[in-house]
């Protein structure tokens, strides 16, 4: 049996659906499984209510498990959940529970840019520290660092589609010149599922990117094309003042629309190394789907 933490999230849901179609037994961990009834009805899938930071919850969840796929993560810290608590503390708790249960295989989701950005943002720092915990655990582990993940329900795609639909002018930080390598959620899920069935992967770490590198403004253009809309005019926004406004919003708003950390991450870009993409193509059978092709399918 495969255990998936963060199972009701964007990537976790795709993993559960694909595992169910294969007839693989999979147990999905979630803090609120009642919010994902559709997943709980899938054949061969059981949803398990658990808090990643509670040892008793994890010990029960690990019974009969052979492999752990660890996906739990947050993009924005809140008063209830911080980056250190979720990324570092949650990963250590999952590793310790796996070790207590005698589980030897652990497949972990990090983030593209974590090594380079760990000095500049709390998100990347804690992703990197979680990776370090995985590497020092003694388990047979594979770490995936996905680029920006796209899909019909992704938090990355939906706001852009809404903006394209509503306005002929789209304001973007720095004019949308940031370089991204968007990767389809189905390809990301396949990497995790295939790695979960390996005793050990050929490489310990893989950067997971799509088949093309696009500037953010080109991503917007591809979505507009798929939607049958005119490409919106891009209104460049200076990044410096945006960071200042974002910092103010973090101090005054319970849920700010954007954080200074997110703007720094956007500036860094999200592009995988050619060497890692070659290793990904060599070791995993995935579609390497382009954004424009998948988006055209959704809107049809």
SS (H, E, C) 101-139: CCCCEEEEECCCCHHHHCCCCHHHHHHHHHHHHHHCCCC
Q: Please state the pTM of the whole predicted model.
A: 0.93
Is 190 contained in some domain? yes
Residue 44 falls inside a structural domain: yes
How many Cβ atoms are within 10 Å of 193's Cβ, its own excluded?
22
Query: Does residue 85 lie within any of the structural domains?
Result: yes
Rounded-to-integer distance, Cα 273 and Cα 278, Å: 9
User: For residue 247, is it within any domain?
Assistant: no
Nearest by Cα to 212 from 296, 153, 293: 293
With respect to residue 26, please indicate whether it lies within any of the assigned structural domains: yes
CATH number at residue 47: 3.40.50.720
As for how many domains the chain has, the answer is: 1
| Burial class of residue 148, CB neighbours in 10 A (0-12, 13-18, 19+) | buried
User: Which residue has tokens 């989701």?
Assistant: 109
What is the reported pLDDT for 111? 96
Helices 10-22 & 185-196 angle (0-180, nearest 10):
60
Kindly list the averaged pLDDT for each block of 10 residues, start to end, along the chain of length 300: 94 96 94 80 91 86 96 84 93 96 97 92 96 97 97 88 90 92 97 97 97 95 90 88 74 73 83 96 96 87
Beta strands 214-215; 149-150: pairing state: unpaired
Quote the tokens at residue 19. Answer: 């595992």
Residue 71 within a domain:
yes
15-19 long-range CB contacts below 8 Å, 24 or more apart?
15/69, 15/71, 15/189, 15/192, 15/193, 16/42, 16/45, 17/42, 18/186, 18/189, 18/190, 18/193, 19/44, 19/45, 19/193
Q: With helix as H, strand as E and coil as C, how does 158-209 read?
A: HHHHHHHHHCCEEEEEHHHCCEECCEEHHHHHHHHHHHHCCCCCCCCEEEEC
- The predicted pLDDT at position 193 comes to 98
How far is it, in rounded angstroms, from Cα 106 to Cα 109?
A: 10
Q: b vs e for 111-137, b when ≥16 Cβ sit within 10 Å of the residue's Cβ?
A: bbbbbebbeebebbbbbbbbbebbeeb
Residue 156: predicted pLDDT: 85
> Domain range spanning residue 14?
2-147+184-208+271-288
Task: Indicate the helix (H) or strand (E) that contains 239.
Answer: helix 239-252
Alpha carbon 148 to chain centroid, angstroms: 7
Asked if the structure places residue 94 within a domain, the reply is yes
67 part of a folded domain: yes
Q: How many residues are there in the chain?
A: 300
């Amino acid at each position: 049996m495969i255990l998936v933490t963060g199972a009701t999230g964007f990537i976790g849901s795709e993993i559960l659906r694909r595992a169910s179609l294969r007839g693989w037994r999979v147990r999905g961990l979630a803090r609120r499984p009642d919010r994902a009834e559709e997943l709980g009805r899938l054949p061969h899938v059981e949803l398990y209510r658990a808090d990643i930071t509670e040892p008793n919850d994890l010990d029960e969840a690990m019974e009969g498990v052979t492999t752990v796929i660890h996906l739990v993560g947050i993009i924005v810290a809140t008063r209830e959940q911080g980056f250190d608590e979720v990324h570092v503390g949650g990963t250590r708790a999952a590793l310790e529970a796996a070790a207590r249960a005698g589980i030897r295989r652990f497949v972990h989701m990090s983030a593209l840019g974590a090594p380079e950005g760990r000095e500049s943002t709390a998100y990347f720092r804690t992703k990197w520290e979680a990776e370090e915990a995985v590497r020092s655990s003694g388990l047979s582990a594979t770490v995936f660092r996905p680029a920006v993940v796209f899909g019909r329900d992704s938090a990355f795609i939906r706001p852009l589609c809404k903006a394209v639909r509503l306005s002929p002018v789209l304001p973007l930080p720095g004019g949308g010149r940031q370089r991204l390598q968007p990767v389809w959620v189905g390809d990301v899920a396949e990497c995790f599922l295939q790695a979960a069935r390996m005793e050990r992967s050929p490489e310990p770490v893989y950067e997971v990117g799509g088949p093309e590198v696009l500037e953010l403004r080109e991503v917007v253009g591809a979505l507009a094309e798929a939607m049958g809309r005119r490409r919106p005019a891009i209104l460049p926004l200076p990044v410096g003042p945006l960071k200042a406004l974002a910092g103010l919003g973090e101090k005054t708003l319970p849920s700010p629309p954007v954080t200074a950390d997110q703007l720094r991450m956007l500036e860094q870009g999200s592009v995988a190394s050619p060497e890692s993409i070659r290793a990904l193509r060599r070791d995993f059978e995935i579609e390497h789907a382009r954004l424009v092709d998948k988006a055209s399918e959704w809107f049809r």
